[in-house]
């Protein structure tokens, strides 16, 4: 896998779109995370009745024991990586370089493994970014008497990693099936922003818990969003079942990718 990643890295390291989108993701995430933390803590530093009531209701999401409240919504930043991943894969089909890999001696599964190595790189990089950002901000804003709770919200790092994995696999699966850059991005954004949310909202409003087992919602629900309307806050499904669902979907995506790519006409 490492050998395949080094080959992939040689392809993408000088690619302008990679530098722009990946660099943009890193900068956007760091700026958004730090700016949000600063503005939130500054806004609720006063002693007015409104601030006290709201702070008691929401709590500070930037201390260690409530770290999970700081993560909802950051998948929007991560979708940039999904779009970049789609571009990198679809370019192989557009410029027929995937055929050249096979001609040069790769088997079809090595092509899939090479792209998975890039997926793992994105996965580890984004997770490390969340971990380091959360650790530094937690050290800054957590009261000294509560620093013993430094690992209390650490499970949310794992949840974020699992969420990133599912999002990237959806992008991978979409691109392998469609192959065209523009259409793959449109379908991916449609799945992430429209179809998944509409299906979940429709099922949840009917009182059905099955909506939480949709592929993307299974990981989104692990990091509850505090601004979700109360009428939609009806989850009774325990975390471990959502984790199992996410793992099952990931396995299904990988199996389907493997079977499909072995049969398609290159």
- Report which of 15, 13, 26, 138 is spatially closest to residue 78, judged by C-alpha positions: 26
The DSSP string of 156-204 is HHHHHHHHHHHHHHHHHHHHHHH--HHHHHHHHHIIIIIIHHHHHHHHH
> What angle in degrees, to the nearest 10, is found between the helix axes of 181-189 and 75-94?
150
Average pLDDT over every residue of 15-33? 81
- d(C-alpha 222, C-alpha 60), whole Å: 19
Question: For the stretch 226-243, what's the b/e string if a residue is b when 16 or more beta carbons lie within 10 angstroms of its beta carbon?
Answer: eeeeeeeeebebeeeebb
- Report which of 11, 5, 166 is spatially closest to residue 78, judged by C-alpha positions: 166
The rounded Cα 54 to chain-centroid distance in angstroms is 29
pTM of the model as a whole: 0.83
Residue 57: pLDDT band by 50, 70, 90 thresholds? Answer: very low
**Least reliable range by pLDDT among 47-56, 95-104, 127-136, 240-249:** 47-56
**Least reliable range by pLDDT among 131-140, 152-161, 216-225:** 131-140
CA angle, residues 27, 28, 31, in degrees to nearest 5:
80
pLDDT for the residue numbered 116: 92
Average pLDDT over every residue of 47-58? 51
- Percentage of residues of the chain with pLDDT beyond 90: 18
Cβ(8)–Cβ(114) below 8 Å: yes
The DSSP string of 205-219 is HTT-GGGGGSTTHHH
In this structure, the chain runs to a length of 266
Q: Is the pLDDT of residue 182 over 70?
A: yes
């Amino acid at each position: 896998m490492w050998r395949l990643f080094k080959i992939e890295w040689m392809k993408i390291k000088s690619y302008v779109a990679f530098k722009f989108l990946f660099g943009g993701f890193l900068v956007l995430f760091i700026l958004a995370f730090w700016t949000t933390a600063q503005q939130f803590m500054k806004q609720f530093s006063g002693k007015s009745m409104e601030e006290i009531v709201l702070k008691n209701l929401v709590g500070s999401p930037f201390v260690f024991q409530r770290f999970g409240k700081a993560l909802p919504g950051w998948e929007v930043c991560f979708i940039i990586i999904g779009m970049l991943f789609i571009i990198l894969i679809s370019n192989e089909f557009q410029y027929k370089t995937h055929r050249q890999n096979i001609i040069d001696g790769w088997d079809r599964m090595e092509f899939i493994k090479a792209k998975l190595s890039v997926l793992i790189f994105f996965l580890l990089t984004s997770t490390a970014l969340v971990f380091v950002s959360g650790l530094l901000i937690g050290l800054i804003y957590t009261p000294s008497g509560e620093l013993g709770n430094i690992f209390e919200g650490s499970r949310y790092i794992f949840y974020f990693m699992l969420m990133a994995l599912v999002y990237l696999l959806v992008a991978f699966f979409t691109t392998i099936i469609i192959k065209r850059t523009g259409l793959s991005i449109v379908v991916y954004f449609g799945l992430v922003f429209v179809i998944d949310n509409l299906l979940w909202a429709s099922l949840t409003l009917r009182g059905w818990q099955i909506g939480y087992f949709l592929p993307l919602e299974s990981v989104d629900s692990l990091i509850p969003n505090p601004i979700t309307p109360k009428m939609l806050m009806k989850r009774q499904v325990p975390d471990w079942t959502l984790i199992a669902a996410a793992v099952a979907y990931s396995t299904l995506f990988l199996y389907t990718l493997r079977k499909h790519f072995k049969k398609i006409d290159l």
